[in-house]
Amino acid sequence: MALFDKALEAKVMSTHLLIRANLSKKLLYEAYEIAKAFEARYSAYQEHSFLSEINRAAGKEPVLCTAEDLHLFQRALLASKQTQGRFDISIGALSHGAYHFGFSNQSLASKALLKAQQRLVNYTKIAVDEKSIFLEEEGMRLDLGGIGKGYAARLIALFLKEAGATRILVDVGGEIVTEGKAFTIALRDPSGDGYVGYIKTGKKALSISTSGDYERFIDEKNHHIINTEKGASSTYYHAMTVMRDGWDIDLLDAYATALFNIEPVELVPAAHHLNVSVLAIARNGDIRYLNPDKVSLSNISFSGSLLGLG
């Protein structure tokens, strides 16, 4: 006898978590525990987390890792390389070391501090071998904010699949994976209430990731998505959504951050290079929809002005 879809909603990693699948409620709670364990181990906001241990050891000594740790860091370094550092796992020197995003002392940073901390953002100075990770310069800091939610969403979806689910929706703060059923995903209007469009998924495995300037910010000009080349918040877009068939949502999480940091003139070749569909919402509200063939959707609709399709 087939199970009806059940849902679990909670808050984890300082964001909203939704898990929906045709499994028992007990299994959904087990999936929730995966997200909680991920946060406890990799949070930059918990003094005794494994990530904080790595950051304290920067420039001093390597830190032993589990196989899961190494897989996460290798995926983050892969995304850093693929995006030429526009997503950089070592952004913590700026996001936390300069701006202190998410901490009680969150504030604008002086030019001198930004310059000093920007020098420490360099994923090529992270050494990962078969058993450990080493940040080569003292003061370097990992920040998984640009890939962690996507990685957790992938872990949860794989757990549900292995548990026998045939209809799956996982949403970790806008990092979404689906399979087996047509779900309707609303695209938030980043400049106000309501939505700018809707995505209706197909039954194939699908990943959708969104980065926006409206979730965490100091003021309207200074938000948490930092351009690594400038050491300051990117100002090209309000929101960037990337999509692709399959469950590489961890990489897409990083890609959304990277594309948010790319000038509009570079967006088309970058989207082709990363092999993703892109919905970019500009600061004036215009929407560009690129590479629609990279994703299998039942339907997609827009209420805003569609500037480009291709």
- The whole-number pLDDT of residue 214 equals 65
CA distance 210 to 233: 16
Instruction: Tell me the backbone φ, ψ of residue 27, rounded to 5 degrees.
Output: -70, -35
Q: Supply 207's token pair.
A: 């990943």
For the purposes of burial, counting CB atoms within 10 Å of the CB of 220, is it exposed (0-12), middle (13-18) or buried (19 or more)? exposed
The DSSP line for 267-293 is: HHHHHHHHT-EEEEEETTS-EEEE-GG
- The whole-number pLDDT of residue 14 equals 85
What element of type H or E holds 201?
Answer: strand 195-201
- The whole-number pLDDT of residue 105 equals 61
Contact 115, 231 (CB under 8 A): yes
Q: What is the full per-residue pLDDT of the chain (310 aa) written as tens digits?
A: 356 689 999 999 889 999 999 999 999 999 999 999 999 999 988 889 999 999 999 999 999 999 999 999 999 999 999 999 999 999 988 887 666 665 566 566 667 777 878 899 999 999 999 999 999 999 999 999 899 999 999 999 999 999 999 999 999 999 999 999 999 999 888 777 788 888 999 999 999 999 877 665 544 555 567 777 776 677 788 889 999 999 999 999 999 999 988 888 999 999 999 999 999 988 887 888 998 888 888 778 876 555 555 5
Contact 272, 254 (CB under 8 A): no
- The whole-number pLDDT of residue 32 equals 98
- The whole-number pLDDT of residue 102 equals 56
Q: Which amino acid is at 95?
A: S
Residue 177: helix, strand or coil by DSSP? Answer: strand
User: Quick count: other Cβ atoms within 10 Å of Cβ 111?
Assistant: 8
- The whole-number pLDDT of residue 116 equals 79
Q: Which amino acid is at 207?
A: S
- The whole-number pLDDT of residue 1 equals 39
CA distance 254 to 295: 18
Round the CA-based radius of gyration of the chain to a whole number and report it. 19
Multiple choice CATH, 6-27+147-309, 3.10.520.10, 2.60.40.420, 1.10.3470.10, 1.10.10.10: 3.10.520.10
Range list for CATH 1.10.3980.10 in the chain: 50-146
Range list for CATH 3.10.520.10 in the chain: 6-27+147-309
Contact 281, 262 (CB under 8 A): no
50-146 is classed in which CATH architecture?
Orthogonal Bundle (1.10)
- The whole-number pLDDT of residue 87 equals 94
Q: Supply 178's token pair.
A: 């689906």
Residues 6+ apart with CB under 8 A from 136: 58, 59, 125, 126, 127
- The whole-number pLDDT of residue 98 equals 66
Instruction: Tell me the backbone φ, ψ of residue 100, rounded to 5 degrees.
Output: 60, 35
